[in-house]
Amino acid sequence: MSDTIIILTTTVQIFNVYKVFQQDKNERLNTYLDAIQKWLDTDFKIIVVDNSGYTFSELEKNNSLHIISYYHDNIDLPEENKFILSSIEKGHHEMLAIYHAYNNIPSDWEYDKIFKLTGRYFIPNFKHYIDNIPQEALYYIQNRDVMCELYGGRKDNVMELFKLPTIKNKRQISETIKKERIEEILKKTNNKNIVYKFPKISVDPVIKGSRNTIMTKI
């Protein structure tokens, strides 16, 4: 197996958040299943995390797949993070899903790099993109650095991006939170080479969850 983990974030059954175009549960499920099945044909270790309680019983268990299912408002959080549970900003809920997945990586999985990817996307030949990451880079972001479909980092560094938003972030969207974290990392280290920005990445065509747009690149 690869030394790379990909966390695929999913919400099969939407809840009280805004900016969601694709609302039908079955449509959402089929979109996710199509992408996940393609990822399972690669060598990557795959974590599927769903925050609407869906367990993906359709998928066959194997050593490179780990499924995490929970309900978005039924998880213990410190006081400064509890606002997430009732937030209408879908990005806050995704950040919680990423954090929860990261803290539940199987103990026997060895890895060097880890990525978060929106669960509806499949990236053909993602290994090629990973192989071109410079060795000195510790954090990885997509070409449009304000976006949050894809980002990640080295095992010992990525928590700087995967940590939960706090009450001071309550009125910020997740894209702004991630962008500010990258800016803070660069400010502290004064080394721009530790953040690698991918070129535009081609994905299998798929409808964007938040609006009626077919995505082919991220």
> What pLDDT was estimated at residue 15?
82
> What pLDDT was estimated at residue 22?
85
Query: What burial class does residue 57 get, using C-beta atoms within 10 Å of its C-beta: 0-12 exposed, 13-18 middle, 19+ buried?
Result: exposed
Q: Where are the beta strands (DSSP E) in the chain?
A: 4-10, 45-50, 65-69, 113-118, 139-141, 150-154, 195-197, 202-207, 214-217
> What pLDDT was estimated at residue 4?
98
Q: Helix (H, G, I), strand (E, B), or coil: what is residue 147?
A: coil
* pLDDT tens track for 159-191: 999 999 999 999 999 999 999 999 999 999 999
> What pLDDT was estimated at residue 157?
98
pTM: 0.96
> What pLDDT was estimated at residue 187?
96
What is the CATH number that goes with domain 4-217? 3.90.550
* pLDDT tens track for 4-50: 999 999 999 988 765 678 888 999 999 999 999 999 999 999 999 99
Q: Using CA atoms, how far apart are residues 82 and 195, in angstroms rounded to an integer? A: 30
> What pLDDT was estimated at residue 19?
67
Which pair of tokens denotes residue 66? Answer: 């780990």
> What pLDDT was estimated at residue 17?
66
Starting at the edge strand found earlier in the chain, the sheet holding 45-50 runs 65-69, 45-50, 4-10, 113-118, 150-154, 139-141, 195-197
- Name the residue with tokens 């690869």: 2
Cα of 112 vs its chain's centroid, Å = 17
Taking the CA atoms of residue 51, residue 85, residue 89 and residue 213 in that order, the dihedral angle to the nearest 10 degrees is 10
